[in-house]
Structure 1
């Protein structure tokens, strides 16, 4: 992987790095808190660590603000935030979460203390550090294909800590935290009302994280099935990055950015993004990226005229209520009160935009005193900031350029072009069972399996509490595979994507009928395997306690299977045992066969097929990368799918079948029963091979 150091000018350098560290912590805490309920499928109590977001409340205690505004105290806090990045290298998940939470608290405290400084130079530097730090943060993710370098590997984590430590020490030694100007606060008559202003800034903070924590996020909001799937995250995410940069560059046009017309532009943009598909939705996302960054200066200028402790408390309450509301729109089946929030992102959009409106327009005269302090034109040459902004954007765009690949996706070379393999895995959003990134290990596993078509369930990590990552784009680029990501991330599912070494000809994304339980995603896709069309129906059905849902879903999927004109494979997470009503519906009404009807020890994942010859079947342990094993099957496309004989005999002696059909010996030999390995291996009476 590449790592791009930050480039800036003079003292702003340290501020940009501080801003980068701030965003790494701010966006890194959510996924770690979320990790526990993800594993338990219920609220775990560790959500209490979010309380560190409220560290700014401490400045409300008399004397604390003065104490912390001391350069040495600030220096200690700066070193603490950088040190807490090392939480990534902690030995256990809980220690990691605790250190990360403390670091986030320290970062929030620095943010508040310096943004409310009486010295306009410190205020201004903090503001631009946060803004340019954000652009650097988003640009660095481009190089890591949507992942955060700080939380990617021990090496990249150490590099960020090194750069952060140098910047923090430079801050302390250069004395840039020392007050230079004693400035009288503006007259009270000018002050905006603190409550609406704080709600407005909290909403802006959430909107920035939700839609633009990574530059290609909104492209997964507008995706549809092939062939007209709309703009792909690569390269169209580059335009969102340019939009964010443009938003920063037009901040100085304050007459426009603080007008109600500009707010209406923002509102229309987010409604386009949410309600319109593909290219029209993308244009909305582009408009929203410019709007979102451009109003930071307006809201921060108003916010810093309000009392710091209670304002920041309301800011964080607003931000967290919106984050939790978004969790509730998707996880409504596992949380109290979910029935009211189910699939209601529209309520959330209304709350965010109304919040921003009241923050921008209720009470008080406008006062340029943070981003562009009136008394300090010399100290904030906006030309310099423009230069740094453009430089950071260029680094991000260079990342997009470096990822460009001339090579068409190469089809696998095989002796028998009619043979192919398919796999299904519930992936757990790219985090292993201890909460560390599992992407590289998963990519190596996919290479070892040699699977040609893979369906990854629980794979939509583009939500802010899952890290804003695009797993499909990462695997597609890493493994050289076509990606079909669906349904769109705004459709409130946990995600469902297909990776294929062969071209995807067409596909349809479905939301299965789910009157009671969680919304179930499915894709029906047609893949061109060496000139032969094969259909795939892939899905993650609803929870086992919602019987009506599963009954309706099985009926829907069976209909999809019967309507497939080509040979078809079903790769599904069915949440019920073999020969349950749902299983029987799929087999009988869907007119498909089970890959191994003698395998009674299954609960979730199933592979079924029609008009194909089965060659082999394997179950491979997850080795701690997820809570579910991988299942895989090998097939041959018959010359005449209407008139052929399937393989009926089951054997476990691999020496009796062609070498081309063998599963990778790296996973060991035939293994009966369950096994819990730290490495991937066959288990559950597999691998099995099939003969005529």
Structure 2
């Protein structure tokens, strides 16, 4: 026998304990993972098989039913059954704890309810383990029985819940939602089964999956009740060797904790709620950034003020919160405003441009209200404001990441749809679910700080205006600030890919600093450094300017918690109302600096982006000043004492969420940047003939006649025309009013082309871009003289064309009304062409008639340039001129519905004998490799066809 007796636990010792809420968490996680994993694996491995039904397959049907996803194929069926089996334990425990929660002596209701719960669990096993493939009839019998038993289970739970509890409210929401979904479920099942409507089964599937969601969500509400329970394992006879667990209840909320790493305080419940806030922020920014883009469509077609510009003021809907009733209504039911915001995502379903804009405008009203309500009084609970602000920042970054992944277009914008890469359906469905799950846990109707200590709301409003404007104008696309510092080839600075990813990583660093070093971020030295960064961004090109951009990006995201929490202690109507009013004025200025020739009072802000940058930083400074005036202690403190952060579970929860989400965002960013960078070098279409096919196209900012993004159709037209070099005019969309987009990215990457974006957005032009299959050796950006009218951009690039240097000039002249401007611009471009000793091609928008006026300056002995076809009298804007290179063909291709201007294109051969003749020859005398594609003859394709001459022209 051992000399030392083995230590045993004393009889009655608690050796393990856990909060009852973990039963609910385990049930929700395992059940949710079982269904979700089966869906993901099935979609990945057997997509077309599981979406097929007895009548239709892909593409008519494109989403699987629950039965198809969980029961038709291996391995998804096995994965589902494995995790649903694991769910059984928590399921029976949940039913038992529910009985304990509701049980009252002498009452039969709880007993009947627990009986229904047990029977419902067994029927669940029936339809889970007898799949529709195994035995369709028994699968349906168990499924119908399960649905019928759900009725007394749900109603019983609602009747037995205590009045006034949060769990009762959510049981009503999820229970009612469950049964409401059955109505359209049955309707679309009939449409599929009886009427054989294509696609009906896919819609049916969405409602079927919603039943699963609401079913699991209903049972997950028990976590709110079970947190009052503690499950203990007690050694009654002292038979165990382990040490006793703490006698204190694990279900109690400890205010002080020890920092045990970056994931201290992490929980799946917190993760879920935080994810909802992140997605709601993503929806907010997606809707807000789409508003200006839709507005822009109308002045394009009106060529001036259209009247629709007034919808820019939709964000002033927050002034409605000055009505106490509405503040109480949206405060009690925040889901209403968030659901209204989702209208902006679902607006893609509205076909007419004006109706679509008005739908998004209404959504922006709700978006501004939803944000104000979600932020109002968040400091009533310590670190809740930090959580909301951090989720708001991450949601913004997610919107930027989505654009980085989808070539500078947000996939849920209402200019997107199935045909051009949109994910609108997914965005809408997830948006509705997140809206229904939106909560506002803070209590009280006013700030806890005495009014005398709150300071003026105006400073907070200024901070919001400067912050939102700066984020929107500079950071809402990862390439915007890169184009601010872009100065052409050879490269002296960053490219949008991969350095757009670096911009996103800088923003993630800012979010982390805003969580862990908020006091430092809100200091005057930090503001000073950020102001210097803003100056560098404005004043310098290349790497120096980009360094300033990264500093500014980091700072703007770091101060989000400071400015939002400062605003939260004031009445939301006036604070956010004035904030969005000032933001709208900055947005108008952002338009005025480039559109000065088309708006009243425009010359006052002509090319004064410096004033807007200064104004936004001053407003942010006022916001910081207001935040620093809030008392440094108490529940509404913007800057929590360091000692409080060190011991608060609230702080560690926020930090853990920031670490998890920022890590995910960073990993996705690096992956997307690598994927988009890993491309083959561009190759011309016909190297064997040394052919160079060029084109010029005024693309109207990438919005087609019906207000859809047109990059995909533009790409297809350029590819099918086999253009090696193309100039794009009216191409600078790096502004709020144009969506902060980059039209060139998808075209260039999909077709394998080098890009020169041309003069950047801080150069105040409508844009000129060059895409080339040939390497760009050098490029210079020009702003031609424009004393009165709009600025005229030009790119002078030298290309390596089959070993020969060829100059290409892309140029957009000013408007017709400013005669002197056009004369000066003509002289400037003529000097550029005359100075070139290389073969030269001009791809241009000249605003002149052939053989008249300024035309004779462009085509002259001084420039040495010749017209690609002097006999083409039907031109006014677009022209192709050339010298020192052999022209072999010319064609005009109709615009389709993409824009209001055709594509003009020419074919040139790099040859020793560069002489060209205007003598036309029949196509059959032209070598096959030099001919234009036959695809565009006759009716053409997608509205593009050879027109004016109805066929290409070839020359000897």
What range describes the TM-score normalised by the shorter chain of this pair? Answer: over 0.9
What secondary structure is seen at the aligned counterpart in 2 of 1:666?
A: helix
Q: Does 1:534 pair with 2:832?
A: no
What secondary structure is seen at the aligned counterpart in 1 of 2:305?
A: coil
The one of 609, 618, 628 aligned to 2:891? 618
Which residue in the other structure is 1:329 paired with?
A: 593
Which residue in the other structure is 2:488 paired with?
A: 225
Q: 1:90 Cα deviation (Å)? A: 1.4
What secondary structure is seen at the aligned counterpart in 1 of 2:859?
A: helix
What secondary structure is seen at the aligned counterpart in 1 of 2:844?
A: strand
Q: Does 1:414 pair with 2:700?
A: no
1:218-367 equivalence runs, <5 A: 218-251=481-514, 252-362=516-626, 364-367=629-632
Q: Which runs of 5+ in 2 are unaligned?
A: 1-39, 45-267
Could you tell me whether the CA contact under 8 Å between 1:592 and 1:608 is conserved in 2? yes
Which residue in the other structure is 1:510 paired with?
A: 782
CA distance 1:473–1:97, change in 2 (3 Å):
same
Give distance in 1, aligned partners of 2:338 and 2:614: 36
1:463-488 superposed Cα distances (whole Å, 9 cap, x missing partner):
12111112223322121101111112
Give distance in 2, aligned partners of 1:182 and 1:296: 23
Give distance in 1, aligned partners of 2:433 and 2:571: 32
Q: 1:637 Cα deviation (Å)? A: 2.2
Could you tell me whether the CA contact under 8 Å between 1:199 and 1:359 is conserved in 2? yes
1:550-599 superposed Cα distances (whole Å, 9 cap, x missing partner):
10111111111111111111111011211232111111132211111111
Which residue in the other structure is 1:194 paired with?
A: 457
Q: Does 1:143 pair with 2:426?
A: no
Give distance in 2, aligned partners of 1:507 and 1:223: 11
Q: 1:84 Cα deviation (Å)? A: 3.4
Which residue in the other structure is 2:370 paired with?
A: 110
Q: Does 1:646 pair with 2:916?
A: yes
Q: 1:684 Cα deviation (Å)? A: 1.1
The one of 679, 682, 685 aligned to 2:949? 685
CA distance 1:514–1:183, change in 2 (3 Å):
closer
Which residue in the other structure is 1:401 paired with?
A: 674
Structure 1 residues 75-84 or 296-305, which shifts more?
A: 75-84
The one of 464, 468, 488 aligned to 2:736? 464
1:140-219 equivalence runs, <5 A: 140-151=402-413, 152-154=416-418, 155-171=422-438, 176-177=439-440, 179=442, 185-219=448-482
CA distance 1:406–1:604, change in 2 (3 Å):
closer
The one of 820, 825, 832 aligned to 1:553? 825
Q: 1:140 Cα deviation (Å)? A: 1.8
Q: Which runs of 5+ in 1 are unaligned?
A: none
Q: 1:179 Cα deviation (Å)? A: 5.0
Which residue in the other structure is 1:437 paired with?
A: 709
Q: Does 1:378 pair with 2:649?
A: yes
Which residue in the other structure is 1:667 paired with?
A: 936
After superposition, the CA RMSD in angstroms is 2.4
Could you tell me whether the CA contact under 8 Å between 1:326 and 1:348 is conserved in 2? yes
Which residue in the other structure is 1:68 paired with?
A: 330
What secondary structure is seen at the aligned counterpart in 1 of 2:621?
A: helix
1:218-249 superposed Cα distances (whole Å, 9 cap, x missing partner):
11111112113421111111111111011111
Give distance in 2, aligned partners of 1:591 and 1:686: 30
Give distance in 2, aligned partners of 1:31 and 1:9: 33
Give distance in 1, aligned partners of 2:813 and 2:880: 14
Which residue in the other structure is 1:426 paired with?
A: 698
Q: 1:350 Cα deviation (Å)? A: 1.3
Tell me: higher relative CO, structure 1 or 2? Use CA pairs within 8 A at least 6 residues apart: 1
Give distance in 2, aligned partners of 1:600 and 1:181: 74
What secondary structure is seen at the aligned counterpart in 1 of 2:364?
A: helix
Give distance in 1, aligned partners of 2:747 and 2:715: 7
CA distance 1:352–1:9, change in 2 (3 Å):
same
Give distance in 2, aligned partners of 1:510 and 1:598: 30
CA distance 1:373–1:87, change in 2 (3 Å):
farther
Give distance in 2, aligned partners of 1:125 and 1:386: 9
Could you tell me whether the CA contact under 8 Å between 1:53 and 1:108 is conserved in 2? yes
Structure 1 residues 360-369 or 585-594, which shifts more?
A: 360-369
Which residue in the other structure is 2:361 paired with?
A: 101
The one of 762, 766, 770 aligned to 1:494? 766
Q: 1:48 Cα deviation (Å)? A: 1.8
Could you tell me whether the CA contact under 8 Å between 2:810 and 2:843 is conserved in 1? yes
Give distance in 2, aligned partners of 1:23 and 1:370: 27
Higher Rg of the two aligned structures? 2
What secondary structure is seen at the aligned counterpart in 1 of 2:423?
A: helix
What secondary structure is seen at the aligned counterpart in 2 of 1:455?
A: strand
Could you tell me whether the CA contact under 8 Å between 1:77 and 1:110 is conserved in 2? yes
Structure 1 residues 628-637 or 129-138, which shifts more?
A: 129-138
> TM-score if structure 1 supplies the norm length?
0.93
> TM-score if structure 2 supplies the norm length?
0.68
1:75-134 superposed Cα distances (whole Å, 9 cap, x missing partner):
233223224311112111111111111111111111111211465376555433321211
Q: 1:288 Cα deviation (Å)? A: 0.6
Q: Does 1:452 pair with 2:714?
A: no
What secondary structure is seen at the aligned counterpart in 2 of 1:617?
A: strand
CA distance 1:359–1:169, change in 2 (3 Å):
closer
Structure 1 residues 194-203 or 479-488, which shifts more?
A: 194-203
CA distance 1:411–1:691, change in 2 (3 Å):
closer
Which residue in the other structure is 2:868 paired with?
A: 595
Give distance in 1, aligned partners of 2:763 and 2:631: 39
Could you tell me whether the CA contact under 8 Å between 1:128 and 1:371 is conserved in 2? no
